[in-house]
Amino acid sequence: MGGSSTARWVRRMVVGVLGLGLGLPAVSSATFAAEPAAECVILLHGLARSSASMRPMADSLQAQGYRVANVDYPSREQPIEVLAPLAVGEGLAQCRAQSATIIHVVTHSLGGILLRAYLREHPIPELGRVVMLGPPNRGSEVVDHFVGVPGFEALNGPAGSQLGTGPESVPLRLGRVDFVVGVIAGTESINPILSTAFDGPNDGKVSVSRAKVDGMSDFIALPVSHPFMMRDDTAIRQTLVFLRTGRFLSEDPEHAAESTASRLRPDDTSASSPSAAGGDAP
C-alpha cells in the first residue's frame, strides 16, 4: 500500500471511529471551514458628538465577538434628511464590507432618529435588533424652549432645530416602528437649566415619556444622564443583553412591570399623537 493510500486509509479509519464510537456523523473538511453568521453592530452617535463618544460601547461589543462600524458623521452640518442616508449608509457599507449577515444598530439620541428616518425610505434586509439610548422619539421639550435663543442653531445645526415637539418636527412624522427595538431612557440630569423645560422625569435632554415609541419591543429607565448614558456600564450591559435576547434584563419587579406595560402601551397618548423627536445638545 503506497504512502498516500495509507494516509487516506488512516484518515477514513479515524473518521469512522469518531463517527461510530461517539454516535456522531462522519465529519467532512467542509464542516470545519463553515463559519457562524457574522453579526455586525452599527453605532450612531448623537448631536454635536463624535464616534469617540461611542468607543466604550464599541469596545464592549467587540469583546463579545461582534464586528463594529462606529460611524462618524457631521451631525451639525446637515438636516436629518441628509444625515440619515449619510450616516446609516456608511454604517451599512462598513458592516457589509466585513461580510456581516446580521446587522444590529445601537444609537444615542439623534442617531435613533436618523435610523428611523432611513428605514422609512430604505429597508435593511440584514437588520437584526436595535437599541436606542436616550432617543427623542416623541420630541424634546428642550428644543421647544431654547430654539429661539441666540446661538442655538450655531451650536446644534439644522438637525437640532428639527427635533422639537411641534407640528414642524421632522421626527413626529416617522410613525410607528416595525422593527425589533429596545429603548433606554435616563432619569438623571446634570443640567439644571435645560431641565426647566420638563415637568416629569428626564435625562436633561429628553423626557422619559418622550423617549418611548409605538411598536417598541422593550423599554427600561436607568438613573443615567443624557450626555453619558452611552458610556454607562449598566446601559452597556443592558444593550448587550437586548442584542442577544430581544429583551432587557429585568432586575426588579418595578422594571418588569413597566417593561411589560411599555410593550403593550408605549405612551400615554392616542395613536394620533406625536411619535418621535429629540436632540443631544440643544
Residue type, 159: A
Between residues 47 and 152, which one has the greater pLDDT? 47
State residue 251's pLDDT score: 67
Answer yes or no: is pLDDT of 121 > 70.
Answer: yes
CB 185 within 8 A of CB 216: no
How confident is residue 154, by pLDDT bands cut at 50, 70 and 90?
confident
Lateral strand order in the sheet of 102-108: 67-71, 39-44, 102-108, 127-133, 181-186, 218-222
Residue 191 pLDDT greater than 60, yes or no: yes
Q: What is residue 192's predicted lDDT score, i.e. its pLDDT?
A: 82
The top-scoring range by mean pLDDT among 4-13, 90-99, 245-254 is: 90-99
Read off φ and ψ for residue 177, nearest 5 degrees. -85, 150
Question: What is the pLDDT at residue 37?
Answer: 67
Q: Tell me, what's the pLDDT at 68?
A: 98
pLDDT, residue 11, reads: 41
Mean per-residue pLDDT for 196-211? 90
Question: Which residue shows C-alpha cell 423617549?
Answer: 211
Contact 8, 35 (CB under 8 A): no
3-state secondary structure 46-90: CCCCCHHHHHHHHHHHHHCCCEEEEECCCCCCCCHHHHHHHHHHH
Domain layout of the chain by residue ranges: 1-34, 36-264
Least confident of 25-34, 60-69, 192-201: 25-34
- Residue 257 above 50 pLDDT? no
Given a cut of 50, whether residue 6 has pLDDT beyond it is no
pTM: 0.78
Higher pLDDT, 18 or 127: 127
Which of the four pLDDT bands, split at 50, 70 and 90, describes residue 136? very high
Q: Which of 218-222, 226-230, 256-260 has the lowest mean pLDDT?
A: 256-260
For range 131-138, the mean pLDDT: 97
The x, y and z cell numbers of residue 176, run together, are 410607528
Please give the Cα distance from 23 to 204 (Å, whole number).
Answer: 61
Q: When comparing pLDDT for 63 and 272, which is higher?
A: 63
- Superfamily name with CATH number, domain 36-264: Alpha/Beta hydrolase fold, catalytic domain (3.40.50.1820)
> What percentage of the chain exceeds 90 in pLDDT?
64
* pLDDT tens digits, one per residue of 19-32: 333 333 333 333 33
Give the pLDDT score at 280: 54
Q: Over the range 94-126, which residues count as b (16 or more CB within 10 Å of their CB) and which as e?
A: bbeeeebebbbbbbbbbbbbbbbbbbeeeebeb
